[in-house]
Every structure is written in structure tokens, then in C-alpha cells.
Amino acid sequence: MSHFGSYDERVKNFDWKISENELGYKEGDPINIGWYCTDRICEMGKADKPALIWEGPTGNEKRYTYNDLRLTSNTIGSFLRSLGIKNEDRVCLFMDKIPELYLGFLGILKIGAIAQPLFSAFGDESLFIRLENAQTKAIITQKKHAPKIRKIIDKMPWLEHIIIVDQDPAKPLQEREVSFNLDEAPKVETFDIFPTYAESPSVLHYTSGTTGQPKGVKHVHASLISQYLTAKWVLDLHDDDIYWCTADPGWVTGTSYGIIGAFSNGVTQCILDAGFSADNWYRFIEKHKVSVWYSAPTAIRSLMKAGDDVVKRYNLSSLRHLASVGEPLNSEAVIWSEKVFGKPFLDTYWQTETGCMVITNFPDMKIKPGSMGKGFPGIIATVVDPETYEPFEESGKMGLIAIKPGWPSMMRTYWNNEETYQKKFVNGWYIPGDRSSIDNEGYFWFVGRDDDVINTGGHLVSPFEVESALLEHEAVAESAVVAKPDFVNMEVVKAFVTLKPGFTASKELDLQIMNFVRKKLSPLAMPQEIEFVETLPKTRSGKIMRRILHAKEWGEEIGDTSTLEED
């Protein structure tokens, strides 16, 4: 039996109090995600239950029970306090998917500080922009990532501590660095958890927009109420499940469902900190007997590409329930998963800003391959006319997704950017910035984003950020960055570049520019293709028209070009 039941029944009787009651939370009580994910599960009699099974790049393993989770998060929290870190201070997590990332996240929340997870492959520029915006006080990292921080440390007077979790004792520490080895630290048994409340800030996740710098999405401890219940109902987490969320906590899926949703439900979670290969993923599922698997379309398409034969080499009979997020899940991928795994991947739609799944398929619902499903009970989602921001009266019309504000895990603001936050609300709706239609049975069908942000393998990349990085290269005069279609990643970054006098296009220059962006920003933001051009299409006022370049890449009609620059 799934936890869900009939969709109509769930919608009719829905109240977020269902979640609050299960969590034993009453309005006005203190609520701390760190406590709910660790101490509370122990108090429920599951102290010795495996919480986290971690496998590293060489197949090495580490295991933590819920009691270990409680003790290690206490220990990290207490160390942070000893450094003078207080509630609401921002503490960045800048690590690969090692246990300290997950345990550190919980430790930060336990002291009431704000966790700022950042993808460990970020280069110094991506890192600096986000640390500067948040005025981050401490960063927890690995020695292999420390050089990127050292490179920018002089520009960051607000950053007081760089905590290295795997420091070689023989090597000297540098400015502001401190070593903290979790395995060796004496475990802290009793700990004063900071009394956070529903509206106390918890997590700051950075997400990219078309213009301007990345935005820091501020979440609060009340987000647990949505994350706990959506994880339970949509991911259908049962007490005996072995759950695997493939997302990195540098992105919201890896925290909302890779930490909070899973641990607050008291399930056993496995984590694979190794690169992707179909063989390795299937081996991992077989070895740990994964029963619930939450992944992303790009990974599923990569598995499809690896073929059906490799699936047959492994015993994947433990798999009970599969779900996906981050990009459009094409119907072929759903049908393929049904064929090879015996179950479909259920598509779920949400955003960093929404904090939890908002439009989704459910275990007991009829699945229409290619559709994102329906609004989660308690979430009023619709599609509005892009002109009037009124919901369409008939079904089947394409417009903007719109959601009634007010669910517990909705972002509370963009950090230091209230103005951009306010612009996300129109006519009483929150507008996520995606286009969709709704069919006559209430199912949502994703059409595309309503902006120029590139969604590569489920990761949002801002064309503005890539263009800014390109302009810093000595050979680049102008640039325009757009998405280019790709079978596996759905979209990849493509850059059009005009060169400064004295530079000529060549394969070497091409590679050099790609590497330049990879180092500054990240491998995701690196253009997969650079096209050197003489001129870029511009409006009469000189603004580069990405729209024209985008249409060319996708073989679409170019549309109105009346504002194009005249020769």
C-alpha cells in the first residue's frame, strides 16, 4: 500500500496540519530541522537504525545510524559554536558528497545558523559571487577545494573561518584556516539545540536567473512541514525502504529530499559519491537493495543510452518506486523505465524557490507519460494567460504556471534582493517562470521556460554569468550565450563570440576559452561549443538578441525581427 491513496480524497481533505500532527508540531512551538532529522528519530526508538550509508569513489564505505547522525551533528554544531558562529550566521558547505556535507548541514541547522550549500565543482568566480552576496562567515570544505578559496580570500574580509575536514596534520594551515576532523573529534552527547521557530531562516540556496547575479533563495525551518509530507506521499517512503536520491546537496533536490525529506521520515538513505556510469549505478542499487530511487531525466537518458543489456546484468528487483525531477521527463524515458525496471519514473516539478514538489505524479494516480502530473494537495496550481495573469477557462491552452502563495516551504525572499522577489508575484499568483498547459483531466504538460536560463542536465545556468565570464577573456570582444539541444542533457551551453582585433579563431583558442570558463564558473557552465562570428544580432538600441540565436539552434521560426539592427 502506498501512503497516498486517492488523489481526489487527498485534495478534498487536505490541511498542512496533517503533516504538523505527524511531526508532533503545534503552531508557535520551536521547530528545528536538525532536531527533527536526528534526535526525534532516536526518540521514536530508531536510534540504532541505519540512517546514512555512504560509498566513496573507490567503493569505500561509511555507515551512520540515527544515533550517529545525532552525535555527529551535535559535534559539528558544537565546533562551529566554539568558533563564535551564532544563529543566522551563514555557513557555506563546499564539499563533494562526503558524509561531512550531510552531517554538517544538520549541525549548522542545530545552532540556528543558515546553511549555504554550494556545488563543489564551482570555480573561484562562482564561489566568490555567492559568498559575497551572503556575507558568509565560515566555509566548511575539503583540502582539495581550499586553493579556490585561497585565491579569493583577500577579497572576503567577512569570511572568518575556513574549516578543512581532511587536513593533513603535517601540512601547515594558511590564513583563517582551521582543521576539524569529525572521525577524531570527541562526540558531543548532550547539546543545546538553538530554539528556532517556523520563520527562522534555515537554508540559502543559490539559483541562476537570466539577468543579474545568482539569487539566494531564503528558506525557513517551517519548510520541513512541506518537505516531510511530500517526501512521504510522493516518494512513498516506508519504514523499511532503502532510499537513494542521486542529487548533489549543492542543489535544492539534494537538500529538500536528499537530507530533510529522507531523514525526517526516518528512512535509510544511501549516497554514492562517485562519477556516473550505468554499470556503477546498477551495481549500487543491487548492492544496497535500493527500493526508492529519486533521480533526474539526464541520468535516465544516459542510462537509456547505455542500453538494455547492461540492465540485465544486475538484479534490480529491490526497486519499488521511481521518481524524477529537474527537467522535462520525456515520455520515451517513462516508457523505457517501465520496460526495463518494470515501473515508470514519476515526474515531479518544483523549484529552488518552492522548496518542495508542487506539481507531481503520485503512486496511485494514472500516469500519462510526458505529463508532470497535478498540483500537490494543498497547492493551488494553474496556468494563467501571460497577458492578463488570469487562469484560462478552457483546458489545453498554453500559458504561465501560477501557484497561490502560502505553502510552508515557499521561499521567504531572495537574499538582499527583495525587489526581484516581489516581481515573482503577479495578480496574487507566484509565477515560477515556466510555460505549460493543463489538459481536460487536470494534468500539466510542460512547454518550456519563459526566460533565457539554460537548463543543462537539470542545472540552471545563467547566460548572463557565462557571457560575463567570457568577456573577461583577453580575446573576446562580445558574446551571446544560448541553449543548444542535446539528447542526454536536453540543453547544453553554446556561446557565440566575436573576437578583438589581433585574435583569430582557431581550435586552440576555442579550447582555451572553454577552459577559462570552466575554471572560473564550473564544468556545467562551460560552453560545449563556441562559434566565432563576425557580428551578433542586436536591437536598434544595441542589446544582443539571444532569441534569434536560440531560434537558429533549435530550428525554430525567428519571429518578429523588426527591431533588428539595420546594416
Residues that bind ligand WTA (CB under 6 A): 207, 251-253, 325-329, 347-352, 372, 432, 434, 446, 449, 455, 460
CB of 133 to ligand WTA, least distance (A): 17
The per-residue DSSP string of 344-367 comes to PEEEEE--TTT-S--EE--TTSPP
Q: Least CB distance from residue 441 to ligand WTA, whole Å?
A: 18
CB 420, min distance to ligand WTA, A: 14
Helix (H, G, I), strand (E, B) or coil at 413: strand
| Strand segments (E) across 143-282 | 161-164, 177-179, 201-207, 215-220, 242-245, 268-272
* CB half-sphere exposure, 203, CA atoms < 13 A: 35
Reduced to 3 states (helix: H, G, I; strand: E, B; else coil), residue 268 is strand
Q: Quick one: 329 or 549, whose CB is closer to ligand WTA?
A: 329
d(CA 548, CA 380): 35
- Give the chain's radius of gyration (CA, Å): 24
**Shortest reach from residue 96's CB to ligand WTA, in Å:** 19
Shortest distance, CB of residue 408 to ligand WTA, whole angstroms?
17
- Least separation, in Å, of the C-beta of 300 and ligand WTA? 12
Query: Closest approach of Cβ 376 to ligand WTA, in Å?
Result: 13
Residue 105: alpha-carbon gap to chain centroid: 15
Q: Of 166 and 450, which CB lies nearer to ligand WTA in the complex structure?
A: 450
Cell (9 digits) for 38: 536526528
For residues 312 and 366, which CB has a smaller minimum distance to ligand WTA in the complex? Answer: 366
- Give the residue closest to ligand WTA by C-beta: 352
Based on CB atoms, which residue is closest to ligand WTA, 325 or 495?
A: 325
Q: How many CB atoms lie within 10 A of CB 433?
A: 16
Minimum CB distance to ligand WTA, residue 339 (Å)? 21
- CB 288 to ligand WTA: min, Å: 24
Name which of 285 and 372 has its Cβ closer to ligand WTA: 372
Q: How far is Cα 134 from Cα 73, in angstroms, rounded to an integer?
A: 23
Judged by CB, which is closer to ligand WTA: 128, or 349? 349
CA dist 286 → 138, 268, 282, 337, 462 (Å):
39, 15, 6, 16, 37
What is the phi/psi pair of residue 201, to 5°?
-65, 145
Whichever of 304 and 325 has its CB closer to ligand WTA, that residue is 325
Select 325 or 492, whichever has its Cβ closest to ligand WTA. 325
> Given the complex with ligand WTA, which of 159 and 252 has the nearer CB atom?
252
All residues at 6 or more sequence positions from 335 whose CB lies less than 8 Å from its CB, including other chains: 344, 369
Quote the least distance from Cβ 54 to ligand WTA, whole Å. Answer: 23
Handedness of CA 554, 560, 563, 567 (dihedral sign): positive
> Is 238 or 449 the residue whose CB approaches ligand WTA more closely?
449
Contact 329, 300 (CB under 8 A): yes
The DSSP letter of residue 334 is H
Question: Shortest gap between Cβ of 449 and ligand WTA (angstroms)?
Answer: 5
What's the 3-state SS for 453-502? CEEECCEEECHHHHHHHHHCCCCEEEEEEEEEEECCCEEEEEEEEEECCC
Nearer Cβ to ligand WTA (252/285): 252
96 vs 118: CA distance, rounded Å: 10
- Contact call for residues 513 and 117 (beta carbons, < 8 A): no
